[in-house]
Amino acid sequence: MLVLGGTAEARELADALEARGHAVTTSLAGRTRDPRLPAGAVRTGGFGGVEGLVGALGDVDALIDATHPFAARMTEHAAEAARATGTPMLVLRRPGWVESPGDRWIRVPTTGAAAAALGRAARVFLAIGRQGVHHFVGLDAWFLVRAIEPPDELPARAELILRRGPFELDDERALLREHRIDVLVAKDSGGATEAKLVAAREAGVPVVLVDRPALPTGVAAVGGVEGAVAWVEQPRTPPG
């Protein structure tokens, strides 16, 4: 199995498959220093586009894309390479968040649209990671920027917090309160980073939420590790 990783679900999947006797190689992009490594073999670095991924699939029985829900280019390349080689492919994507009573969400299609939707916000908590922060450079607001790695550029008025989640609800409550946040910007990543949304709901802080990209047409997808393991172990007719 080749697992395109970088998420908690990818690590859990590799651990589960290795424990069940499957040989797994997890591919990491290499953007994060000191990543948490899964069981099995690990390769680091890009493939060199679709052609490189096609070459990597030569000895692979199945391809599982368990990258971040916003890693759209990698997913598109994976789907194209799988079609070209006839390799069975599955996308493992944690479910997105669902709006609850009291939430004040503004859904937007892109990070650029999130920047345009801020209006007259004065103090913004930018919880989108390092990629996409450039869209907010030049806006007339103060930003609290949280990421694992430093962004390439920051708004003129910004405070940077380098920290890896997930974060406790009490910590998120304190962060909004101490920094007097009046708008939260986040990506609909799903998973265990929901505490910031709960804290925003309790504080009456509106959330500009970036929708996740659509999956490529015709690609099978599951929302959890158990479903991915079941997909791997389902009987398949050998090619030819």
pLDDT digits (tens, 9 = 90+) for 78-102: 999 999 999 999 999 999 999 999 9
**How many other C-beta atoms are found inside a 10 Å radius of the C-beta of residue 183?**
24
Query: Residue type at 132?
Result: G
Task: Provide the pLDDT for residue 165.
Answer: 81
Q: In the CATH hierarchy, which fold is given to the domain comprising 105-210?
A: Rossmann fold (3.40.50)
Task: Provide the pLDDT for residue 30.
Answer: 66
Pick out the chain residues at pLDDT < 50. none
What's the whole-model pTM score? 0.84
Q: Where in the chain is the domain with CATH 3.40.50.720?
A: 2-95+213-232, 105-210
Q: How many alpha carbons fall within 13 Å on the CB side of residue 218? A: 7
Task: Provide the pLDDT for residue 191.
Answer: 82
- Ramachandran region, residue 231 (left: φ > 0; alpha: ψ -120 to 50; beta: rest): alpha
Task: Provide the pLDDT for residue 121.
Answer: 87
CATH class, 2-95+213-232 region: alpha beta
Each residue of 99-138: pLDDT tens digit? 999 999 999 999 999 999 998 889 999 999 998 999 999 9
Tokens representing residue 97 in the block: 């968040």
Task: Provide the pLDDT for residue 3.
Answer: 96
**How many other C-beta atoms are found inside a 10 Å radius of the C-beta of residue 2?**
23
